[in-house]
Amino acid sequence: MRQRIIIIEDERDIVELVRYNFRKEGFEIESFLRGRDGLEYLRRNPVDLVLLDIMLPDEDGFEICKRIRADERLKTLPVIFLTAKSEEMDRVLGLEIGADDYVVKPFSPRELVARVKAVLRRQERVAEKKEVVEAGALRLDTRTQEATVRGKLVELSALEFKLLYFLASHPRHVFDRDRLLDEVWGRDRFVTPRTVDVHIRRLREKIEEQPNHPQFLQTIRGSGYRFSPEIMEEVASG
Ligand code: CA
């Protein structure tokens, strides 16, 4: 599903630039010149993120952000401020506003897209972070860092645990190696996509009954890897 963002901004040039670049990146984007119209839209439509200018013709961006945070259904919606002046920036940086990030004008569209993607990924992680993941015969407990398969404890390294936890938290989703490196190894990694293959192989040896015919950790040729809980359930019950 395409992610939908809205921009509330009264400078038409900026709106056009942002619309063009986000559409190119596969986002749906709606724009509003007035804060109140944007807020009205947010209350009626599902939106993944808001780009919010500060100086607007009616209520300013701070006021709009405050209203978003005060709304039970919108309060966790990510907001990125578009700021023009250093005094605006000072207020954005103040704790009371509740923005997720800010970008200073003039900004490069590429940078803005990157910031938006980073905030959306963070949001996804918060939403999906569970203390215990149970999938088929596998159980991962992040509090104790323990993994059990069919009730038996399996010794995993911290990285192996993290990789397995990420995949098992998103069952059936296919992830390519670069995405897995980003999610598990982080940004300052000095590793290659091959590293992912090595760790997957080790994990298979530890958790699969037949590592050469994996049930949990499946290779999707040309795409990457995915975690499959269903087949394991069949195996476990049969
Ligand atoms: Ca403005």
**In the predicted model, what is the mean pLDDT of residues 183-203?**
84
Cβ proximity of 5 and 51 under 8 Å? yes
CA 65–ligand 1 middle distance (angstroms): 15
Q: Is 80 exceeded by the pLDDT of residue 18?
A: yes
CA 9–ligand 1 middle distance (angstroms): 6
Single pTM value for the model: 0.56
Ramachandran sector of residue 224 (left: φ over 0; alpha: ψ -120 to 50; beta: rest):
left
Q: Is 90 exceeded by the pLDDT of residue 124?
A: no
At residue 232, the pLDDT reads 40
Q: Sign of the C-alpha dihedral, residues 232, 235, 236, 238?
A: positive
At residue 187, the pLDDT reads 61
CA 71–ligand 1 middle distance (angstroms): 24
Q: Sketch out the chain's domains with CATH numbers.
A: 4-128 (3.40.50.2300), 132-237 (1.10.10.10)
**Edge-to-edge strand order for the sheet containing 224-227?**
174-175, 224-227, 217-220
Lowest mean pLDDT among 143-147, 171-175, 209-213: 171-175
**In the predicted model, what is the mean pLDDT of residues 61-72?**
90
CA 109–ligand 1 middle distance (angstroms): 17
CA 94–ligand 1 middle distance (angstroms): 20
Q: Which is more confident, 77 or 90?
A: 77
Average of per-residue pLDDT values in the chain: 87
CA 49–ligand 1 middle distance (angstroms): 19
CA 14–ligand 1 middle distance (angstroms): 10
Say which DSSP state 211 is in.
T
CA 55–ligand 1 middle distance (angstroms): 4
**In the predicted model, what is the mean pLDDT of residues 132-156?**
91
Q: Is 50 exceeded by the pLDDT of residue 88?
A: yes
Backbone angles phi, psi at 122, to 5 degrees: -60, -45
At residue 108, the pLDDT reads 94
CA 38–ligand 1 middle distance (angstroms): 14
